[in-house]
Every structure is written in structure tokens, then in C-alpha cells.
Structure 1
Amino acid sequence: MTETAPLSDLSWTRGYTDPAWIRRFTTSGREISPSRRVWRGAGHPRDLPGRSTSSGPGTHELDTVPLELNGRAAVTLPDLFAAAQTDAFLVLHRGSVVYERYLDGIEGHTPHFNASAAKSYIGLVAAVLAHQGHLDRTLQTSFYVPELAGTAFGEARIEDLLHMGTQVSYGGRRFDKAIEAQRFFAVLSPRLRPFDYNGPTTIREHLLTARAAGAPGTEFCYENGNVEALAEVLRRVTGTSISALLGELLWSRIGAEEDAYYVLDGDGIEAASGGFSATARDVARLGEMLRCGGAVGDKQVVPEPVATSIVSGVRDGYAHRVRLPGAPLTSPATLSYHDLWWIPNDVHGSYMASGIHGQRLFVSPGLDLVVVHFGSQVISSAVPAVPFVPAFLQIGAHLHSEAQAATR
């Protein structure tokens, strides 16, 4: 059998080995692809108390806190920023900004690709619609999207899509996560296609080439098509676009400062699995709403049972045990994956949205903590993964300890 070519051997993906190119890609989506805005609504932005200036170190000196990560010598946040080609980093503790930093020309008002962190937002919307009775998680996808009958996604249940529970082969190829991710980018943008590309040119065409390589609901396989199929279900259920739906249910209700946006394929369909861009401050507002049980002040944005089920659902329902994103195959499965969210299974009830090149929204209700990280890190076996999750937890523990000491 012919082995799949290494990603580094594909000339049309080599831009992903250059942090400057990645940064241009993650901050210029509207310039290189058609896009559709996610409206922030007509209200005033919700204040983030304690906000620092975009160039300052933040209102709390976290830069000097020693972080002991995975048995390594203590490091600091600036060390991690350099290792991860960090673009933006924002920390909320008990609803106040205690740290905010932007690097390499990024500013507070700059929308940044969330990449696969956006999958979690789709999972949240789906969970809200299911809670409201508009979506039945037990039905097959083809019930809502008949065109997908006979495909890997059409024969899977909504529940399977929400947990990356399909096993899929595209066009008869052996599945390779990295290669399929790059092929998905080629579906979206003519500029990212190799010279002799003759594959699907829209997301819907791409989904139609998917065939089951195993029974749904039996294994975890992280694949964009699950989210794109789920997004198509949401369009059919609501009769509206993903941009309008996310705007109506979330973005216009969290007090966002800026419109967000999705990049579109050739049919004008949103790339729901990773084509979403927003500012760090607005993503932090989304995280703070979830930390507060789905509420913004006295307004319930997301039903509280939906917000709390992100973690409680791991215990009570369908969830997969998985490795940290980017971790070696020999590493233990320390996370759970539920409703398109990563669950560290810590004592603080934390959960995370995570995307390629270092995009993260980390919410830890037990530590009163929300962290947003945007990056442009090269993805390569030669570039070690930066252990941000342990860093987030140590930062939260430090802030929690200081807050307790201040009340004595």
C-alpha cells in the first residue's frame, strides 16, 4: 500500500511552516476569502472591568509568576508566548481583566481566526436547539439532510456528530487527519489548491464523498466533516445561515464589541468547523457568559442546564476519552470530548475550545477563570507542543489563592 505523503512534502501546504504566513492567514480571512458577518447586535458592548491598554502588561503582573509544567524547569508566560508564536492572550478572573497582551502587530480590535475552537461554538448552538426541542440528538443526520443519506455522516446520529463519533473515508482514500485537514482548506479556497486539484469545490460536495469506514458511535475520529454536517442540520432546522444563527443566539447577546465573521465556500456556505474569526475580548465575553452558567448579568443567554452540561454530560452521557490535541500517540488519554468541547477532567470543572496553531478558549468555573489564547504556532513534529492547559490551571490557582488572601 502506498504511504500517505508527509504534510511537509506537499508544496501547497508549506506556508503553514512559516509563522508570519500563518499570522497573515489567521488575521486576514476577510481579505483572502468571501465572508459573512456575525452581527454583534444593536446594544452597547458589555464592559470588561479592569481592562488594560493593548500594549501594556495587564492589570496583574502575571508575567513573573513561575509556571512548573510537566516536570520542566519553571518558565514564565513570556517564555510560553515566544514558544507558541502567541498573538493575543487575555485572562479574566471573576469577570475582570487581569491580563491582556497583544504581540506582533495584533491589536485588541483585530479579529483572529478561532480555527477549530469554533467547533465548540457550533456544539453550543446545537445543544441550545436540542434543549429547546428543535433538534433531536438521537436521529440520523439524513433525517434532517436527506441528501447525505448513504454517506458516513448521513447514517450517523446527531449525537455521533457532536462527539466526533464517525469513521470516515473520503473518495476511497485512507483517512489521514493532517492531509484531510489540508484538503478541506483546498475545498474552501482556490488559492490553497494544488495545481492539479480536481476534488470537491464546496463543503456540500465534500460531504457527499464521505463513506463510512466503520460503525458510528464506536470510535473517536477528529474530523471537520462532522461539524460541517451538523451545521447543515442547523441550517435546515432553523431555516437560516450559521452566521445569523450564531449572531441571534450568542453574539448579539453577550455584549460583543465587534462583529465576528465566517469565511464562505464557493456556494456561500460558512466554514463552520474552523472559518470563524473574532476578537480576543469578545471570545472572552463568550467564555465569561458560560462560566456564569449561561448568564450575562441578570439575562440568561444560554439555558443554565446547557452551560453546565458541557462538563456534566461527560459523566451523564456520551463522551470520548481522548489525548490532548497535538500530543504524541504514546501519551495517555487524559481528556474527554463532549458536545465538541475538550474536557480536562480536573477538579475545577474546566473545559476548552481548541484550534490549530494555538487558538484556545479555556473556561474554569471552579477557579472563576476564563483565558483566551490566539497564536500562529507552526504545527510540526520538530516544534514541541506548548503545555498551555497546565499553565492555565496554575495561573487560575495563583489568582484564586491571591483572591482568598485578599479577603482575610
Structure 2
Amino acid sequence: MNKINCIVAVSFLLSSAAYAQSILPPDQAFLDQVEGFGVTQENWDSGENAAVTFPNAYKFTRHYVVEPSGDIEPESWTESKSLDLSELTAEDADGPLDIETLLRDRLKNHTVVILKGDDLLHQHFWNGMDETSTHLDMSVTKSFTAILAGIAAAEGKLDMTAPVEAYLPRFKGTAFEGVSLQDVADMNSGLDIPTPPFLSWDPKFTESQEWNGPNDSGLNGIEDYLVTIAQRKYEPGTHYQYQDPNTEVLGLAVEAATGVGLAEYLQDKLWSKLGAEGEAYWMADPSGATVASGGLNMRTRDLARVGRMMLAGGKNYAGDQVIPAAFLDALWMGNDRVRGAWSNGKEAVLAPNGWYKDQIRILEIGDHKFAAFVGIHGQVLVVEPESETVIAMNGGYPQTETERMNSMIFLQIVPAILDETAKM
């Protein structure tokens, strides 16, 4: 039996065990409560409702609970230095403003936590939130899915050079056939997915997940949708295109390779070793598959802890290697393939010398080089090794796919903060 056939056989045997963890239904009491204020499953993710729904997103869908471990307590942060965002300025279209005002009033930010090494420089919780509040992290989730793939690869369970169908036989004959998992992880699969005007995804994608409640799509989970994608626009590995289906396929491959669901794998391999302060919640579809591209909910302080772990080369504060060092080394180094694909993508305008690898952006802006986990409404994790800085933030910017939000955060606010932390 050759290597690929062996992978197929093993993944087929394991797939039946994928969802041993209990899945919880939408929180009906909460749905009844918010309905009186005009918020429903159908409209919960609208910009109008983001302030109230994003801190409670998992309650609108099926979800898994990801428990922290009692074996490792949250790391204590010192507070020997501080950073006052009201005293830092950045540019907006009408001139300079202090960063606190820009975040709160113009970008609809909800929370920020800033670390320099083990020092907590700044934290704020607006929008009625506090440090125990969770928040929907949208596409920041993608980076976690890729980290789990990196862990599975380091354990010898997942071969990132293998084609998608080696782990997911149902994808033979689709646009994913013959595409390596690495090209999927790097958003370089070359998919051709028609989308409506002003929307970056096919509505059938979210319908299959019941992201906005039950519907008549006839799709029972994300896999039913993914196997309908039949065309490629580009040769794999040549063009960076930011497309959610790539992440969902990567998540399904991790589940097939490991024999457990992503939420359980996250709990066992990362959350229980992080020293998390609280539970995370991972939203799921009707089949039980996690929403690998955008369904994680967590505390902002715990998101910052993941950034702190990256600064430590993937080790937690107890010295345990949690995120594989080789995964992080390859991320920071990049390669000609991801650089070339990035140069052919639309985000190269933002950072010409950047790249996208393993669902994480590496951006070189001004004097700074940092990793960025990015969500569509202002959810961000920034990690800059040189200044030992972590910036975790969550927000509810009402529009999606906007040049304004991205340019304000990554060309103005983040560099201004990093300029200041570099001096400290």
C-alpha cells in the first residue's frame, strides 16, 4: 500500500470518532430574551447588532465548550510599566487623533490587551464587557485551526504535503482534488468561487453551517457545501486568495487525521496547556463540524496569552512546548512560494513585503515585522518578537471587507503602539 492510500485508509477509520465531545444547542433562553430587542438568529451577525451579539455569539448556534485545565494556572503578569492610549496619536482621514478615541468611537473597538513580555501595559473593556467576557473572534479562528494542523503534523498524524483527498476521499472530483493541504493552509488553492456583489463568501457557505439558524438549503453541514466547489481559477500555489472554504477543508482534514473534533483537539493540545483564565466556545454546524474559519469565542486576555506563547517560541510559561517550534520558524521565515502568491493577491497593496502562511499574515510595515491573526470586524492578535509586544483586540466594526478598517488598524494604530513599546 502506498503512502497516500495508507493515509486514506487510516483517516477513514478515524473519522467516525471525530465528534465524541458533547455539542450544545443554541441558548434558547437567550434567544427569547434578545428577540424582544429585535435580535434573532437570522440577523444576529449584522453590524447593527454587533455590540450586543459578538460578546454572546456562540449562544446563537450549536457550539462546543473548550475547558481550561486545572493543572496549569494562568500566568501572572507584572504591571511595572503602563501605556496610555489616550496619549498616543495616529492619523485618520481628517487628521491626527488619540488612539483611544480612534478605537472607541471610530472603529467600534470593544477590548484591548497589550503585553510587553510578561508586563501588562494596557487593558480596557468597553461596550459593557469586563475581563471575564468572551468575544467572537471571527477569522482569528483560522489561525488557531492552522496551529492545530501544525501540532497534528508535528505528531506525525498529518502530512501537509499530501493532497486533500488523501484525508477526505469525498473531495475527489472537486476543485480541491490534487491540491496540497499546505496550499490550502496558505490560501493558495486557486479556487473559483462566484460571490454576490459586496459579499466575500457564497451565501450557501453559511447556510450549510446554519450560522443564521435553520434554513431550507438542504445542506447538512459545511462538507456538503465544500464538495460542490468544482472549479479552480488559478494553478495552486500561484495566487493568494482569502477564501473561507480553505480553512474549513483544513479543519476537516485535521479531524480526519486525529480522529477527534477540532474543539476537543484544541482543548487537549493547546487550551489545557495555555494557562487560560476561562472557557472558550467553538461554534459548530448541523453535522457537528466546528466552524473552523470563524467560530471561536474567547476572552481577550486569553487571546493575548496565545500571543505571549508565540513570543516564547511556542512554549507556555512552564516551559512546555505547545506550538511546534518548527511551525513558528517556518511561519516567520516564509518562502518563495507564499511570497510570490502574496504578490499576486489584493492585500499586497497593504504590505508589499508580507506573506500569508498557515492562516497567519506576516506583515512588514515601516520598521516593524509582526504576525497578525485577523478577524473581519476588528478582531486582531499582533505579535512582534523584536519589541516583545502582543496586542490582542476585539471589536464590532459594522462593515466587512473595508479598506478603511484594515488601513487604520495596520497602517496607523498598530505601528504607533509598536513604536511606543519599542522604547519601553
Question: Is TM (by shorter chain) over 0.5?
Answer: yes
**How do 1:256-405 residues align onto structure 2 when only pairs under 5 Å count?**
256-297=276-317, 298-312=319-333, 314-315=334-335, 318-319=338-339, 320-321=341-342, 333=352, 335-346=354-365, 348-379=368-399, 384-385=404-405, 387-390=408-411, 391-401=413-423, 403=424
Q: Does structure 2 retain, via aligned residues, the 8 Å contact 1:164–1:222? A: yes
Q: Does structure 1 retain, via aligned residues, the 8 Å contact 2:184–2:247? A: yes
1:45 aligns with 2:68: no
Mapped to 1, the partners of 2:414 and 2:368 lie a distance apart of 12
Q: Does structure 1 retain, via aligned residues, the 8 Å contact 2:200–2:401? A: no
1:25 aligns with 2:53: yes
1:242 aligns with 2:262: yes
Mapped to 2, the partners of 1:121 and 1:392 lie a distance apart of 21
Q: Give the unaligned 5+ runs of structure 2.
A: 1-40
Mapped to 2, the partners of 1:383 and 1:340 lie a distance apart of 20
**How do 1:188-207 residues align onto structure 2 when only pairs under 5 Å count?**
188-189=209-210, 191=212, 197-198=216-217, 200-207=219-226
Change over 3 Å in CA distance of 1:380–1:136 after alignment to 2 = closer
Q: Which moved more, 1:357-366 or 1:343-352?
A: 343-352
Q: Give the unaligned 5+ runs of structure 1.
A: 1-11, 53-57, 404-408
Q: State the identity as a percent.
A: 21
Mapped to 1, the partners of 2:69 and 2:378 lie a distance apart of 28
Mapped to 2, the partners of 1:304 and 1:331 lie a distance apart of 28
1:161 aligns with 2:189: no
Mapped to 1, the partners of 2:395 and 2:343 lie a distance apart of 23
After TM superposition, the score normalised by the length of structure 1 is 0.83
Q: Does structure 2 retain, via aligned residues, the 8 Å contact 1:181–1:224? A: no
Residue 122 of structure 1 aligns to which amino acid in structure 2? T
Mapped to 2, the partners of 1:205 and 1:165 lie a distance apart of 22
Change over 3 Å in CA distance of 1:209–1:33 after alignment to 2 = same
**How do 1:84-95 residues align onto structure 2 when only pairs under 5 Å count?**
84-95=107-118
Q: Does structure 2 retain, via aligned residues, the 8 Å contact 1:16–1:378? A: no
Change over 3 Å in CA distance of 1:218–1:13 after alignment to 2 = farther
Mapped to 2, the partners of 1:134 and 1:263 lie a distance apart of 24
SS in 1 for 2:256: helix
Mapped to 2, the partners of 1:128 and 1:80 lie a distance apart of 34
After TM superposition, the score normalised by the length of structure 2 is 0.80
Superimposed CA distance per residue, residues 76-120 of structure 1 (whole angstroms, 9 cap, x where no aligned partner): 232232111111111011222111001111221111111011101
Mapped to 2, the partners of 1:22 and 1:114 lie a distance apart of 12
Change over 3 Å in CA distance of 1:380–1:137 after alignment to 2 = closer
Mapped to 2, the partners of 1:43 and 1:89 lie a distance apart of 27
Aligned residue pairs: how many?
A: 378
Change over 3 Å in CA distance of 1:323–1:77 after alignment to 2 = farther
Q: Does structure 1 retain, via aligned residues, the 8 Å contact 2:190–2:239? A: yes
Mapped to 1, the partners of 2:313 and 2:207 lie a distance apart of 38
Q: CA deviation at 1:127?
A: 1.9
Q: CA deviation at 1:28?
A: 1.6
Change over 3 Å in CA distance of 1:191–1:16 after alignment to 2 = closer
Change over 3 Å in CA distance of 1:14–1:179 after alignment to 2 = farther
SS in 1 for 2:165: helix
Residue 201 of structure 2 aligns to which amino acid in structure 1? E
SS in 1 for 2:251: helix
Superimposed CA distance per residue, residues 33-60 of structure 1 (whole angstroms, 9 cap, x where no aligned partner): 11101221222432341469xxxxx943
Q: CA deviation at 1:15?
A: 6.2
Residue 189 of structure 1 aligns to which amino acid in structure 2? E
SS in 1 for 2:112: strand
Mapped to 2, the partners of 1:292 and 1:392 lie a distance apart of 21
SS in 2 for 1:268: coil
RMSD of Structure 2 on Structure 1 (CA)? 3.0
Partner of 2:240: 220
